[in-house]
């Protein structure tokens, strides 16, 4: 008994060190005594929003491993029709209960692609053998020629830029809440009768003169020396704020949505409204995995070649993972009218183009991109390696644990009020290029740059980023805020080095190591109590974790009961126990053999009082510990 308690205490010390051993917390987001995240707001109601809803299925579910139902191998010459025919034939497979038809497996080899490929069926995964450079063991799509000019190699989704504008007739209703603050998920409408829980709705905030006046007409600095005559202040109707959401609850005329808004909706400035989204052309449950897309070029500054490797266009609940993209002119992955997408463990490298505007946006969230998670990705030789090049209809974009090398300019919100960007543990692997701007992350005012870009980001955060001695520019837009917390480098909002003289954003803990939590996204995901599936969390210590998977309890915090879920790879004797913070065992939930598969156990807290508790699973030689909070 003593040895078991001693071993638990060793695990508990390791767990506590990982979770709480950091040296400092932000004043704006921090853990309270019960282990819950607390958010502070400023006098304008600005606060850091919850980003954890980004990704496939709002990051509530792991990306599934879909069984292969069809296989092809490369043929001599152009493989475009060969692969397209195999994709089209997938329509003959029925959708299962999860919305998938199956995976099309492209065997190892090189497939020449002379035109576009269209992955435009619901529930289809395109899977290769690997993304390496050796065609013996990997799947390589080699895009040759330039027809049509500057084409997309692989278009996944419905391929129509609807920007969610298609509505169901008669469902438009006004939001009557005086203000819906950034980060909120609830509001009142004048009549909720057309809506039901589960409806897909669009929230529309018109671009009125009153709102434009409040944000200085975009802050374009159009009258300054250096501005071109075409650079003008933003115009009425030009920058509506749009959110694509689902209804999760209705109480009277109060509606709750699945993910927060990323900007204040102030009724005095613009009468926002909602409508049911008709979902025209939309495709769902599409995956791209384990392949390499290489583009034929003449090298140097050649631009007569395919332009984007993967274009995710009019799609929802999709993913791209374990892929490499080379020699594109604009992007390795490009999103448009896309929601709830995960791009994981991908490389967008060695672009070929001029070093100029509209080029080398390696991972690119374009118009109407929302709740997109880029995780564990790498870019090199980019101008804007990780960027929102959308405008006011793009928001909730997370770049988690991504790296960049050889950058010519900064990852950034690029133009016209992109909202809710999170650079979470972004790392530049080298310093500034000689002769180029040393800015590596920009949440700032771009003034008359480009096409009157103005305020390029709002309510956006650089969290625990390291730019290798380069610069992070953070400035405060009117009515909003941007943040840099716990970042390493030269962090400023002052001019110079910033190009335009506006207020500095919120900057805290620059060059102070040990920010807790390390990752804002992962902490928020754990904190909201859903099952943390498919994301390696901040709060887990395990030995051989692939043999037993222990999920975060739900709900958490809880009262009176919570459910603990776990998966076993093989049959095992399972011991599931509850400990307090002193390492004293207070309950045993399981002490029996269980078969391989998914399991769950409910705990009602027994005689335990409010506080923090730890649950430990032991299955054979494998142990995992997690934390939960009981509120009586």
Any idea which residue has 């191998």 for tokens? 73
Query: For the chain, how far is it from start to end, CA to CA, in angstroms?
Result: 30
DSSP secondary structure letter of residue 629: E
CB 533 within 8 A of CB 52: no
Structure tokens at 589: 């939930």
List per-block mean pLDDT (blocks of 10 residues) for the chain, which spans 632 residues. 46 46 82 92 96 97 96 98 98 97 98 98 98 97 97 96 95 98 98 98 98 98 90 96 98 98 98 98 98 98 98 98 98 98 98 96 98 98 96 98 97 97 97 94 97 97 97 98 98 97 97 96 87 34 52 79 85 90 86 85 88 88 83 72
Nearest alpha carbon to residue 539 among 559, 519, 557: 519
Domains of the chain: 2-40+519-630 (2.60.40.3080), 55-90+101-150+282-298+306-351 (2.160.20.10), 173-276 (no CATH)
CB 111 within 8 A of CB 83: yes
pTM of the model: 0.82
Burial 181-191 (b: 16+ CB within 10 A, else e): bbbbbebbbee
* pLDDT at res. 413: 97
* pLDDT at res. 378: 98
pLDDT digits (tens, 9 = 90+) for 321-377: 999 999 999 999 999 999 999 999 999 999 999 999 999 999 999 999 999 999 999
pLDDT digits (tens, 9 = 90+) for 455-503: 999 999 999 999 999 999 999 999 999 999 999 999 999 999 999 999 9
In angstroms, the CA 412 to CA 384 distance is 7
pLDDT digits (tens, 9 = 90+) for 527-551: 987 433 333 333 333 222 347 888 8
Structure tokens at 337: 């009218």
pLDDT digits (tens, 9 = 90+) for 111-136: 999 999 999 999 999 999 999 999 99
In this structure, the number of other CB atoms found within 10 A of the CB of residue 410 comes to 28
* pLDDT at res. 533: 33
Phi, psi dihedrals of residue 423, rounded to the nearest 5°: -95, 105
CA 229 to chain centre: 37
DSSP assignment string, 393-428: T-EEEEEES-EEES-SS-EEE-SS-EEEEEEES-EE
Structure tokens at 370: 């929302």
CB 408 within 8 A of CB 226: no
CA angle 327, 332, 333 (to 5 degrees): 165
* pLDDT at res. 420: 98
* pLDDT at res. 472: 98
Structure tokens at 622: 């494998």
Report the mean per-residue pLDDT for the chain. Answer: 92
């Amino acid at each position: 008994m003593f040895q078991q308690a001693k071993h638990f205490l060793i695990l508990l010390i390791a767990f506590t060190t990982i979770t709480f051993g950091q040296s400092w917390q932000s004043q704006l987001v921090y853990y309270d005594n019960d282990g819950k995240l607390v958010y502070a707001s400023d006098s304008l109601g600005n606060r850091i929003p919850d980003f954890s809803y980004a990704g496939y299925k709002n990051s509530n579910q792991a990306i599934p491993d879909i069984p292969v139902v069809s296989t092809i191998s490369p043929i001599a010459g152009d493989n475009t029709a060969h692969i397209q025919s195999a994709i089209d034939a997938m329509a003959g497979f029925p959708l299962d209960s999860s919305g998938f038809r199956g995976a099309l497996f492209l065997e190892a080899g090189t497939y020449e692609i002379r035109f576009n490929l269209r992955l435009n069926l619901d529930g289809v995964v395109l899977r290769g053998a690997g993304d390496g450079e050796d065609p013996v063991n990997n799947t390589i799509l080699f895009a040759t020629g330039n027809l049509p000019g500057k084409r997309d190699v692989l278009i996944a989704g419905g391929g129509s830029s609807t920007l969610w504008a298609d509505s169901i007739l008669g469902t438009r209703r006004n939001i009557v809440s005086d203000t819906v603050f950034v980060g909120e998920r609830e509001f009142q409408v004048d009549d909720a009768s057309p809506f039901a829980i589960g409806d897909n709705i669009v929230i529309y905030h018109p671009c009125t003169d009153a709102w434009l006046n409040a944000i200085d007409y975009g802050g374009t600095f159009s009258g300054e020396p250096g501005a071109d005559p075409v650079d003008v202040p933003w115009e009425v109707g030009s920058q509506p704020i749009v959110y694509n959401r689902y209804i999760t609850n209705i109480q009277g005329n109060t509606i709750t949505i699945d993910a927060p808004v990323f900007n204040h909706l102030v009724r005095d400035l613009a009468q926002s409204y909602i409508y049911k989204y008709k979902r025209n052309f939309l495709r769902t449950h599409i995956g791209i995995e384990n392949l390499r897309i290489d583009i034929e070029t003449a090298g140097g500054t050649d631009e007569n070649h395919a332009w984007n490797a993967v274009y995710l266009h009019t799609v929802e609940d999709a993913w791209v993972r374990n892929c490499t993209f080379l020699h594109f002119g604009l992007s390795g992955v490009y999103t448009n009218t896309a929601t709830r997408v995960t791009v994981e463990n991908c490389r967008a490298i060695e672009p070929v183009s001029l070093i100029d505007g509209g080029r080398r946006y390696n991972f690119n969230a374009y118009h109407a991109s929302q709740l997109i998670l880029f995780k564990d990705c790498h870019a090199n030789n980019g101008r804007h390696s990780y960027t929102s090049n959308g405008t006011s209809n793009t928001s909730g974009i997370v770049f988690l644990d991504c790296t960049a090398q050889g950058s010519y300019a900064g990852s950034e919100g690029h133009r016209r009020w992109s909202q809710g960007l999170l650079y979470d543990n972004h790392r530049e692997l080298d310093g500034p290029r000689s002769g180029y701007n040393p800015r590596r992350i920009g949440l700032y005012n771009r003034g008359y740059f480009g096409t009157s870009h103005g305020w390029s980001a709002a309510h956006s955060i650089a969290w625990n980023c390291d730019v290798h001695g380069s610069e992070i520019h953070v400035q405060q837009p009117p009515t909003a805020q941007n943040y840099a917390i716990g970042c390493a480098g030269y962090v400023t909002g002052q001019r110079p080095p910033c190009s335009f003289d506006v207020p500095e954003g919120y900057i805290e803990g620059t060059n102070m190591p040990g920010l807790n939590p390390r990752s804002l996204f992962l902490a928020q995901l754990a904190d909201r109590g859903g099952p943390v599936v498919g994301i390696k969390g901040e709060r887990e210590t395990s030995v051989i974790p692939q043999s037993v998977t222990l999920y975060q309890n739900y709900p958490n915090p809880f009262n009176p009961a919570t459910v603990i879920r776990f998966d076993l790879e093989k049959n095992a004797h399972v011991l599931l126990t509850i400990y307090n913070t002193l390492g004293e065992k207070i309950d045993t939930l399981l002490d029996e053999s269980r078969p391989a598969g998914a399991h769950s156990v409910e705990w009602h807290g027994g005689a335990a009082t409010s506080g923090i508790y730890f649950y430990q699973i032991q299955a054979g030689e494998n142990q995992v510990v997690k934390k939960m909070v009981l509120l009586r």
